[in-house]
A and B are shown apart, each in its own frame.
Chain A
Amino acid sequence: MTQAPPASDELEPAPPGDDATRGGGSGRTAIALLDRSWLFLFLLALLGFFWATTPRSTFLTEANLSQIALSTSQVVLLAIGLTFVIVTGGIDLSIGGILFFSAVCGGRTMLELAGTNAQVTSGAYPHAAKAIVAGIVVALLAGTFWGVVNGLLITLMRLPPFIVTLGTYGMTFGFGNLLSGGSYLGAPVPTGFTSDFGNAKFLGVYYPMWLALGFLLVAHVVFQYARFGRYTRAVGSNAEGSRRAGIAVDRHLVKVYALAGFLAGLAGVLDLAIYTNTTSVSHLQDNLNAISAVVLGGTSLFGGIGSVLMSAVGAFIPTVLQNGLVIRNVQPFWQEVTVGATIILAVYLDQLRRRRSAGGG
């Protein structure tokens, strides 16, 4: 008898609030869809507001929008991984550190293999192609490694994810600084990596954003429809129940943190591609940026419920605001106030919507 709830949990891990999207006729589905993608409407409203209040052909241009997307691409990748982590009821504060560490490892590999020290510092990279591929692989491995370390420490030592990833936050920055000599890399990464990838466009969109979009779609499908996603939600809504239902919870958690680490490594690759280099100070607040994107996207910090797509939309809110406010010539200090207030407003509206839909059944 006591087994019954966990068993049903495994079949239908999504909590009741989510059911609205599945049940009912087409009218209800449409409303539910609208309800669910309200943050997207909020983003559209924001775009509309800036379009209406800035001079013509400044804000709403292909050039500007694609550049906003370029500055958001890294946070999108981080937010994807973090959505999985947060849905399990965990947190990962170390992603910015993992990003930096991976970028340093990848960047150093690229510089080592691209040519001699003298060649590289003078801007010649005779073996660029080989070096870039090796650097990407190293960065991804480095990111995944730290993700696995997080997962193992959390599951083997039974420590709260907050503490573990706070610890690895410091360690990754520390090791990264040790490897880079405390500053940035001795030279930019091979120029082709930036000119042909980091700063290059395909169909009006920069490659880094295409990459982020590709991973976003795959992650969305995995999260919604694959076993990996189902397990993730199940673990987050009821870990004990999942365990009894036969899910290897610990192993699954390690995989989830490894995924977040891998995506942070990928964001580190983008750091090298876009900025030709990496700096630790730029990534100290990446964890907060990614967490706010996930929370804006409606993912519960208590686990169980979430949406990868909406996290990505959430990642765009601060960058669109930032960009629009600069174009509107808003004084820098008011920009900070406005961004902060908008985040609170967006989450409040989300809460109102939830309460209403919970009340209306």
Chain B
Amino acid sequence: MSRRLLVVAMALTAGLMLMGSTATGGTSRSDAAQKTYTFYLVAGIASDSFYLTMKKGAQAAGKKLGVKVVFTGSTKAFSPPTQIPFLNGAIARRPDAILIAPTDKTALIAPIQRAIDAGIPVITVDTFITKRIAVTNVSTDNLGGGRAAARALVNAIGGSGDVAAISVNPGISTTDQRRDGFVAQLKKYPRVKYLGIQYCNDDQTKAQNQTAALINGNPNLKGIFAMNVVSGNGVTAAVTAAGKAGVVKLVEFDAGPPQVQALKAGKIHALIAQYPYGIGELGVQLAYKWVTGKRAGIKKHYGTGSAVVTRANVNSPKIKKFLYTP
């Protein structure tokens, strides 16, 4: 009985492994005659519509250029310990270039240096590292996005009142910049009182509880800035449950499908949408230029714009390209 079980278990495990490897479609050896390039895109967190949209842009650009783009990254957390194994795995496959969204400004310097030492050019996308060793950086101006959020929120609350903010965790370059931009811009409005920031650890239930406390504890609370998708989910749910949808104004970063629908329903006043598709596209194009020897004229940084999406402009074609399509 137990031996038969053992055999079944082993067969199952082997089957699963096989399934997994075919699902990722292990890189086949390229023909010596025709050089096809392989780039790896290491996401900050692979289970996020932002990076999934970036993947789409990267693969679309890759298709045009004859580059195979392999998407990888942790689905569990946006953190160096979960990301570095995926980067190391990418280095081991010896791709022609690596595009990576570093999950920490400094912790990723040494692992990225290892890739460069192995002769693999690296481009940072979305986030950056403080040492200038990457070929280039393609990212949203998060500082500017934070400032835009402050302007949109102050505008929504009519120029005066209390506002608060909810983010993931401190120490992430993108959300830290959004926070800094937001706080810096808020200082320009003397009639707006900033109640400070809460960190929800990317847990929508925690964000909901914090928002409930903010609403009930501050009768003058007029608006909240949620700095990413998951915090936004919790904030929107709490405001809706409290019967304050549209009364407490919400500005949220990112533009995934649930947020766009909440915007259309009048629960969210504005979304600050980045352009992940464009980041992926441009990242691959620049990497291709680099590996094919056209290195002249590549700048150290490329900013892809962000858009302030409101109910009024959400259906316009100019804005539509900014909405995330995982």
B14 to chain A, nearest CB (A): 16
Q: Are B261 and A322 in contact (CB under 8 A)?
A: no
A262 interface hit (Cβ, 8 Å):
no
A54 to chain B, nearest CB (A): 7
In the bound complex, residues from chain A placing their C-beta under 8 Å from that of B268 are none
Produce 1/0 per residue, A246-289, CB < 8 A to B. 00000000000000000000000000001111011110110000
User: Contacting A276 at CB < 8 Å: which of B52, B77, B237?
Assistant: B237
B196 interface hit (Cβ, 8 Å):
yes
In the bound complex, residues from chain B placing their C-beta under 8 Å from that of A123 are 261, 264-265
Instruction: Tell me which residues from 60 to 75 in chain A have a Cβ below 8 Å from any Cβ of chain B.
Output: 61, 63-64, 67-68, 70-71, 74-75
A199 interface hit (Cβ, 8 Å):
yes
User: Contacting A329 at CB < 8 Å: which of B76, B196, B199, B238?
Assistant: B196
Q: Are A183 and B76 in contact (CB under 8 A)?
A: no
When C-beta atoms are compared, the residue in chain A nearest to B245 turns out to be A199
Produce 1/0 per residue, A171-210, CB < 8 A to B. 0011001000111111110010010001100000010000
Interface of B is mostly: helix
B107 interface hit (Cβ, 8 Å):
no
B193 interface hit (Cβ, 8 Å):
no
Question: Chain B: how many interface residues by the 8 Å CB criterion?
Answer: 49
A181 to chain B, nearest CB (A): 6
* Interface-side segment among B32-40, B59-67, B200-208: B200-208
Q: Are A183 and B216 in contact (CB under 8 A)?
A: no
Q: Are A323 and B209 in contact (CB under 8 A)?
A: yes
Q: Are A326 and B198 in contact (CB under 8 A)?
A: yes
When C-beta atoms are compared, the residue in chain B nearest to A181 turns out to be B326
Most buried by B among A121, A123, A323: A323
A157 interface hit (Cβ, 8 Å):
yes
When C-beta atoms are compared, the residue in chain A nearest to B209 turns out to be A71
Q: Are A59 and B204 in contact (CB under 8 A)?
A: no
Cα distance A206–B214 when bound, in Å? Answer: 19
B42 interface hit (Cβ, 8 Å):
no
Q: Are A275 and B45 in contact (CB under 8 A)?
A: no
Q: Are A275 and B261 in contact (CB under 8 A)?
A: no
Q: Are A326 and B5 in contact (CB under 8 A)?
A: no
CB contact under 8 A between A199 and B240, given known A183-B256, A326-B198: yes
User: Contacting A322 at CB < 8 Å: which of B206, B230, B264?
Assistant: B206
A314 interface hit (Cβ, 8 Å):
no
Q: Are A181 and B206 in contact (CB under 8 A)?
A: no
In the bound complex, residues from chain A placing their C-beta under 8 Å from that of B158 are none
Query: Number of contact residues on A: which range applies?
Result: 35 or more
Produce 1/0 per residue, B34-55, CB < 8 A to A. 0000000000011111001000
In the bound complex, residues from chain B placing their C-beta under 8 Å from that of A328 are 217
B213 interface hit (Cβ, 8 Å):
yes
In the bound complex, residues from chain A placing their C-beta under 8 Å from that of B203 are 281-282, 285
Cα distance A64–B208 when bound, in Å? Answer: 12
A332 interface hit (Cβ, 8 Å):
yes
Q: Are A184 and B75 in contact (CB under 8 A)?
A: no
When C-beta atoms are compared, the residue in chain A nearest to B71 turns out to be A182
User: Contacting A323 at CB < 8 Å: which of B196, B212, B240?
Assistant: B212
User: Contacting A177 at CB < 8 Å: which of B47, B202, B204, B214?
Assistant: B47
A4 interface hit (Cβ, 8 Å):
no
Q: How many residue pairs at the A-B interface have CB separations less than 8 Å? A: 155
Q: Are A182 and B205 in contact (CB under 8 A)?
A: no
Q: Are A187 and B261 in contact (CB under 8 A)?
A: yes
A338 interface hit (Cβ, 8 Å):
no
Cα distance A361–B146 when bound, in Å? Answer: 63
A156 interface hit (Cβ, 8 Å):
yes
User: Contacting A182 at CB < 8 Å: which of B75, B77, B199, B261?
Assistant: B75
Cα distance A6–B256 when bound, in Å? Answer: 58
CB contact under 8 A between A67 and B264, given known A156-B5, A279-B229: no
When C-beta atoms are compared, the residue in chain B nearest to A281 turns out to be B202
A73 to chain B, nearest CB (A): 9
Cα distance A188–B258 when bound, in Å? Answer: 5
User: Contacting B238 at CB < 8 Å: which of A67, A157, A332?
Assistant: A67
Most buried by B among A54, A59, A188: A188
B133 interface hit (Cβ, 8 Å):
no
Q: Are A276 and B258 in contact (CB under 8 A)?
A: yes
Q: Are A182 and B237 in contact (CB under 8 A)?
A: no
Q: Are B230 and A282 in contact (CB under 8 A)?
A: yes
A307 to chain B, nearest CB (A): 24
Q: Are B214 and A326 in contact (CB under 8 A)?
A: yes
A238 interface hit (Cβ, 8 Å):
no
CB contact under 8 A between A327 and B213, given known A184-B49, A274-B241, A279-B230: yes
A37 interface hit (Cβ, 8 Å):
no
A314 to chain B, nearest CB (A): 16
Q: Are B216 and A61 in contact (CB under 8 A)?
A: yes
Given contacts A282-B203, A284-B77, list 13 more A-B pairs with CB under 8 A: A67-B208, A71-B209, A173-B75, A173-B76, A177-B75, A181-B326, A185-B257, A188-B261, A275-B208, A276-B233, A281-B230, A328-B217, A329-B195
User: A-contacting residues of B (Cβ < 8 Å)?
Assistant: 5, 9, 45-49, 52, 75-77, 195-199, 201-206, 208-210, 212-214, 216-219, 229-230, 233-234, 237-238, 240-242, 256-258, 261-262, 264-265, 326
User: Can you give 11 contacting A-B residue pairs, CB < 8 Å?
Assistant: A58-B216, A67-B216, A68-B209, A71-B208, A157-B9, A177-B75, A181-B326, A274-B237, A275-B234, A279-B229, A285-B201
4 A-B pairs with the lowest CB-CB distances in the bound complex, closest first: A327-B217, A326-B213, A67-B212, A64-B216
